[in-house]
Structure 1
Amino acid sequence: MASEPRRIVVVGAASGIGAAVAEHFHGRGDHVLAVDIREHRTPASQYLRCDLRDAASIRATLEQIGDGWDMLAHVAGIPGTAPAADVLKVNYLGMRLMVEGMLPRLREGGAVVTVASTAGLGWEQRIDVLNELLELTDGDAVAAWQERQDPTYPVYTTSKQATILYTKRLAGPAWTKYRVRVNTVSPGPVQTPILPDFERTMGKEMLDGVKATVGRHATVDDIVPVIAFLGSPEAGWITGQDVQVDGGFITALVSQPPIELV
C-alpha cells in the first residue's frame, strides 16, 4: 500500500540538489513547498521567495508557511566566490533562523535535513572559534565576526563547519521539545551549476584529485536518496548525525593506509 502524501518544505529549490529534492518528493505525490530567492520552474505544489541574508525575509516566509509539515530539507547555500559575509549569512545564519523557525511548524516525528559539505571536515579542531560564531544570531554581528577572522581561511569551510556543529547541538533540544530529528548530509563535489565556483575557490586540481580517488564526481541522484531517507520515518532513531555522501573520499583520506586486497 502506498504511503500517505507528506508535506515537505524544500529551501533552495531552484537548482542543483535542492531542485532534485523537490522534484523527488513531488514525483512521489507529496505536497512540496519550494522556497528560493529566485523564480524557478522546479516541480512543486507551492512556491515562496525568501532571501536568507535577511532575517526579516525569513520571518515573513515562516509566517506564510504555516504549520503541519513533515520535513524541512534545507539545501540552500552559496559558494565561497560570494562575499564572505553573505556566505556566512546564507549558509549558516539564514539556515539556523529557518530551521529554528520551522521546528514548531513540524509535526511530532518530523525531520530536518540540512545539506552541509565535506568541506566542513575538521570542525572538531575549531570548536573554540566556532563557539564564538554560534553565539551570534544577528547578521551584522556575524559579518563583524568574519571581518576579525583570518582572511586566508575559507569562509565556505567555516560556514559548513558551523552548520554541522550547530545541528549536533540542536539535536537534543529539538527532540526533547518537538520530537523532531535533525541531521546533516555532507556531499563531496557534485555535478551542479555551482561546481565551477567550487573549482575557483578550492582549486580545480584538488577537485580533480577527489574525482581521481573515487572515480567520478557525484550527481544529484547520489545525494537525494540519502536526504529522503533521513527525512523518512524509517530513519526515526537517527538524529544529530552528519552523513558524508562522497564516494568514500573522506574515509580514504583519514583512515590511511588502505587495506590491500589480493
Structure 2
Amino acid sequence: MVARLQGKNCIITGAAGGIGLETAIQFAKEGANVLMSDVNANTLRMALEQLKSRAAKGVRIETNVCDVSKEDQVKAMVDHVESWGGVDVIFNNAGIMHPKDDGVLNTPENIWDLTQDINVKGVYYGCKHAIKSMLSNKKKSASVINTGSFVALMGAATPQIAYTTSKGAVLAMSRELAICYAKQGIRVNSLCPGPLNTPLLQEFLDTEEKALRRTIHLPSGRFGEAIEQAKAVVFLASDDSSYVNGQDFLVDGGLTKSYVTSLGTPPKGPENEVFGKAKL
C-alpha cells in the first residue's frame, strides 16, 4: 500500500511537542519529508530523536529553529525546503495560550500583542511564503493546514480573550486563502481541536474550577489526545481530502454539538475525579 504522503515536502511549525510532534511522526510514517520547526532548540532536538526511530525508510527529516512572529525567520524556514523541490504541505501549528490571558478587562496589552504576533502573524507569514513556494514550483496538489480552535466558533468556557480572538482570525484568514488559491490547486483548511491533554492547555487549566468548566461540556468526559488531531492533519494533508477546502475542520469529540453533559456517574479516570462536582 502506497503511503499517503509519499515524497511530499512538509513543514510543521510548533513541531517539538503536542500536536506538532505527533503530526511529524505520522507524516514521516506516511513517507513525507519533514522539516520540524520550533522556537525551542533543545526540545526540538529531543523531538527529532523520537521521530528518527519511527519514520519510514528513505524520508528526509530535518529541523529548523524559527520564531514564527519574525517574517525573515519564516522565509528562511520555507527557503530551506526550496532545496528539496518546494513545499507541498505546511502545517502552521505554532501558537501560545499565555497564562495571563484572561477576560477583556484584565488581559495586559503586551499579552494581547504577543498572542496575536505568534498566533495570527505567524500563520500569515507561514501561508504567505509557503503559498509562494507552492505556486512557483507549480504544485498541483498542495495543502495548507492552520491550527484554529473550537473556541473561535463558540467562545471559551474560561476567559482567554487574546487566544480566542487570534483563533477567530486564523479561521477567517484560512477561508479567504482557500477561495483565492483553489484554482491553482492549493487547498487551505483550519484544524479546530477541542480541549486536549497537552501541556499548552493543561498549564492554562491551573485551577480545579477551570478544569471543571472545560470537562463538563465534553460528551465523552475526557480531553482529546494529540495523536487524534495528528491523524486528522494527515487526512487534510493527503489527497484523501482532495475536495475538502476552506473548512473549519472540527476534531472536538462532539463538544460543539453538545450543550452540557450529564452530571451523573463520570467516566473512570483520574482526569474525571472532579467531573461530578460541577455546579452550573
1:31-46 maps to which residues of 2 (within 5 A)? 31-39=33-41, 40=44, 41-42=46-47, 43=51, 45-46=61-62
State which of 195, 204, 208 in structure 1 corresponds to 2:215.
208
8 Å Cα contact 2:217-2:259 kept in structure 1: no
8 Å Cα contact 1:92-1:160 kept in structure 2: yes
State which of 6, 14, 17 in structure 2 corresponds to 1:15.
17
Over aligned residue pairs, what C-alpha RMSD do you find?
2.1
Distance 1:200 1:79 in 2: 12
> Stretches of 4+ moved more than 4 A in 1?
none
Tell me what 1:110 maps to: 142
Tell me what 2:2 maps to: 2
Residue correspondences, number: 224
Displacement of 1:187: 0.6
Tell me whether 1:70 sits opposite 2:88 in the alignment.
yes
Larger deviation: 156-165 or 21-30? 21-30
Tell me whether 1:243 sits opposite 2:249 in the alignment.
yes
Return the index of the structure with the highest Cα Rg: 2
Distance 2:214 2:174 in 1: 26
Displacement of 1:64: 2.6
The alpha-carbon distance between structure 1 residues 122 and 169, as it changes in their structure 2 partners (threshold 3 A), is farther
Tell me what 2:173 maps to: 166
Q: TM-score normalised to the size of structure 1?
A: 0.79
Tell me what 2:228 maps to: 222
Displacement of 1:27: 2.3
Distance 1:170 1:197 in 2: 32
Tell me whether 1:253 sits opposite 2:269 in the alignment.
no
Cα deviation, 1:68-95, whole Å, max 9, x if unaligned, reads 2221111111003262211111111111
SS in 1 for 2:215: helix
Tell me what 1:58 maps to: 74
Distance 1:121 1:252 in 2: 13
Distance 1:65 1:198 in 2: 34
Tell me what 2:121 maps to: 93
Q: TM-score normalised to the size of structure 2?
A: 0.74
Cα deviation, 1:14-62, whole Å, max 9, x if unaligned, reads 0000000001111233211101111223226011111012222223323
* AA of the residue aligned to 1:84: W
The alpha-carbon distance between structure 1 residues 59 and 70, as it changes in their structure 2 partners (threshold 3 A), is closer
SS in 1 for 2:189: strand
Distance 2:173 2:166 in 1: 10
Displacement of 1:200: 4.3
Displacement of 1:186: 0.5
8 Å Cα contact 1:80-1:154 kept in structure 2: no
Cα deviation, 1:93-117, whole Å, max 9, x if unaligned, reads 1111111110122322110111111
SS in 2 for 1:194: helix
Displacement of 1:252: 1.2
Displacement of 1:164: 0.5
Q: Which runs of 5+ in 2 are unaligned?
A: 53-60, 101-110, 261-280
8 Å Cα contact 2:194-2:252 kept in structure 1: yes
SS in 2 for 1:189: coil
* AA of the residue aligned to 1:100: K
